[in-house]
Amino acid sequence: MNRLRRSKVIYLTEAIRRLGDSESPASPLVIIGQTNFSVGADLNEITALTGPEAYAFSALGQALMQAIASYPAPVIAAIEGHCMGGGLDLALACHRRIAAHSAVFGHRGAALGLITGWGGTQRLPRLIGKGRALELLVAAEKVSAARALEIGLVDVIADDALAEAVRRLRPSL
């Protein structure tokens, strides 16, 4: 399900910062998952955290999202399968989002008694408006790729999200 465990969040943050801090111009990035973009944080890992550990984990996730959002070249999320919770936060931090027809989006935290600590509560309303964001965040709704396109959550739906992302970046390469 491509869970965002602590070790993966740290690895991604360091890799993106390294790529963005190099002396040569930064290359565009495409962020993908295998089968699923990401279902977000590992709930087993989260439930084992103490208060201070949970705060630190939230800060790690925020650092990753900021590294993506401030990356000096385009960052595109190529989304297939599930894009939920922290995975949706990850996609929202990207500059563009391309979905496969199979993509499903949601912020299911409210159904679990959780709320995102990775910036989704700010990025989502800015992108799709407060009312629609509340549908996803408070009602814990899941939406299809077609609905995501309709509400402005994704830029385009493609048969092959990765190929479309690469095609859109080709002029930048």
> Is 102 among the domain residues?
yes
Helix and strand totals (H; E) in the chain: 9, 9
Q: What is the pLDDT of residue 173?
A: 52
CATH number at residue 72: 3.90.226.10
Q: What is the pLDDT of residue 84?
A: 95
Q: What is the pLDDT of residue 91?
A: 98
Query: Domain count of the chain?
Result: 1
Per-residue DSSP letter, 32 = -
pLDDT by residue, tens only, the chain of 173 residues = 789 999 999 999 999 999 998 778 889 999 999 899 999 999 899 889 999 999 999 999 999 999 999 999 999 999 999 999 999 999 999 999 999 999 999 998 878 777 778 999 999 999 999 999 988 888 888 999 999 999 999 999 999 999 999 998 876 55
Query: Contact at 8 Å (CB) between 86 and 38?
Result: yes
For the chain, what is the radius of gyration of the CA atoms?
15
Q: Give the domain range for residue 166.
A: 3-15+29-172
> Is 54 among the domain residues?
yes
Rounded Cα distance, 21 and 145, in Å: 34
> Is 93 among the domain residues?
yes
Q: What is the pLDDT of residue 34?
A: 82
Q: What is the pLDDT of residue 171?
A: 64
> Is 20 among the domain residues?
no
CB atoms within 10 A of CB 86: 28
